Amino acid sequence: MQAMIDLNPFGMTEMSRHREAELYALIAAYKSGIFDKNNIELINYEYLIKNTGPENMRSPVGSGY
């Protein structure tokens, strides 16, 4: 994660630290079995694009995020 460089001019600073914290939180939750207990399925962008279609996805930039 230390090699990540955020080129977006908007959003949080030091994004790689936030992503690393998210990763550790997901790993801890996975190890504790919380996803199985709550019937939660993790997906990635490839799955999302394949099943939703990019034409149905919108950028958060114009949404006031």
pLDDT digit string, tens, across residues 39-61? 999 999 899 999 999 888 887 77
Structural domain contains residue 52: yes
Work out how many domains the chain is built from and give that number. 1
Specify the pLDDT at position 27: 96
Domain around 47 = 15-57
Structural domain contains residue 63: no
Structural domain contains residue 7: no
Q: Choose between 37 and 61: higher pLDDT.
A: 37
Structural domain contains residue 40: yes
Structural domain contains residue 8: no
Confidence of residue 12 (pLDDT cuts 50, 70, 90): low
Structural domain contains residue 2: no
Specify the pLDDT at position 47: 94
Exposed e or buried b per residue across 18-49, where buried means at least 16 C-beta atoms within 10 angstroms of its C-beta: eeeeeeeeeeeeeeeeeeeeeeeeeeeeeeee
